[in-house]
Amino acid sequence: MKPFFLITLTLAFALLSISAQSPSGSPAPPGSTPAPPVAGSTGTAGLLHLPATTDPGAQKAGELLEQMVAALGGQAYLTMQDMEQEGRTYGFDSQGRADGEGAPFGRFWRWPDQERVELNIKREWTDLLGFPIPITQKGQTAVLYSGDQGYQITDQGATALDKETLEDYLRRRVHSLPWVLRKWLNEPGIAVFYEGHVLAERKQADQVSLITAQNDAVTIAIDSITHLPVRVSFTWRDPKYRDKNEEAEAYDNFKPVQGIMTPLSIIRYHNGLPRNQRFVISTKYNQNIPDAMFSTKLAPPPAKGKKK
């Protein structure tokens, strides 16, 4: 019995020694300095560049943002370079009532600041020296944003967008979800805050706000169950009338596309009233959209009756 007892005792001391050396069971080495806590300390931490903080509310906000990005597709979402979409878009009047029957649209987006939206488009392509060139036919229109410039393109050519329309788009772009997650969070002085449970678009959600060092802010409502974004909003003050305005986008009916959760319904609000709604039929990511799609110079349509 003695040999068996000695073997058992030896094994017990060995297990205790291993446990004492494990990171989870040992105290920090003498003289070491623990790393500061970082907002977003869940299993999905590391997707975002979040500010270090000891504030429980900020830590909670960081965790929610990490969960949201993980639900959207993680690195696939954060590193997407371009997107093509087709669907149908509807406008609303100043009272929030549906205006017209809507129109088919095609959308081409390339990170960070290029976007083209085509309306009533039945697109055709021609091949010029091996490069695909879009052809816009009579009666069709496209809106192009490239950098801080905007144009409307028709069969008559391209004209610069009016100042108000361009400023509205640029304002919404720098407060958009991709811009906030990929640019704001890399800026010094960014802060995140947890603002509790809210009801957003008839869904239970957790609300998080991000504020830059310049006191610009975006608020995100995150679905408490799916962790997907429900609503993104921001406010701005009219420089002329000093009125405070709220802009918001709401997302619904998410479907996975190439590893990215994609909303098939997007509603844009201005001061609580709907201004535009898009229903997405198809989406493609990282298609290496040709530069020609973001140029105001369009190839002329084929001669009438001439077969391509």
Mention every residue, 6+ apart, whose C-beta is less than 8 A from residue 208: 61, 64, 65, 192, 193, 194, 195, 219, 220, 222
The answer to whether the CB of 116 falls within 8 A of the CB of 126 is: no
Report the candidate in 78, 99, 76 with the shortest Cα–Cα distance to residue 89.
99
Entry pTM: 0.79
The answer to whether residue 64 is domain-embedded is no
Residue 181 lies in a domain: yes
Largest CA distance in the chain: 103
**Domain annotation covers residue 57:** no
With b for 16 or more beta-carbon neighbours within 10 A and e for fewer, the 60-77 pattern comes to bbbbbbbbbbbbbbbeeb
Could you give the C-alpha distances from 239 to 162, 235, 297, in angstroms and in order?
Answer: 17, 13, 34
What pLDDT does residue 36 have?
38
pLDDT at 256: 98
CB of 224 within 8 A of CB of 199?
Answer: no
Residue 2: which H helix or E strand, with range?
helix 2-21
Q: Which residues of the chain have pLDDT under 50?
A: 1-44, 299-308
* pLDDT given for residue 123 in this prediction: 59
- 54 occurs within a structural domain: no
Q: Is residue 128 part of a domain?
A: no
Q: Is 42 a member of any domain?
A: no
Residue 7 lies in a domain: no
Kindly give, in sequence order, each residue whose CB lies less than 8 Å from that of residue 196, ignoring residues fewer than 6 positions away.
206, 207
Assigned domain for 154 exists = no
- Distance CA(233)–CA(34), nearest Å, equals 37
The count of domains in the chain is 1
Q: Specify the pLDDT at position 119.
A: 87
- Domain residues for the domain of 267 are 75-108+172-292
Q: Is the peptide bond before 112 cis (omega within 30 degrees of 0)?
A: yes
Q: What is the pLDDT of residue 236?
A: 97
**Euclidean distance between CA atoms 190 and 183, whole angstroms:** 10
pLDDT for position 39: 38
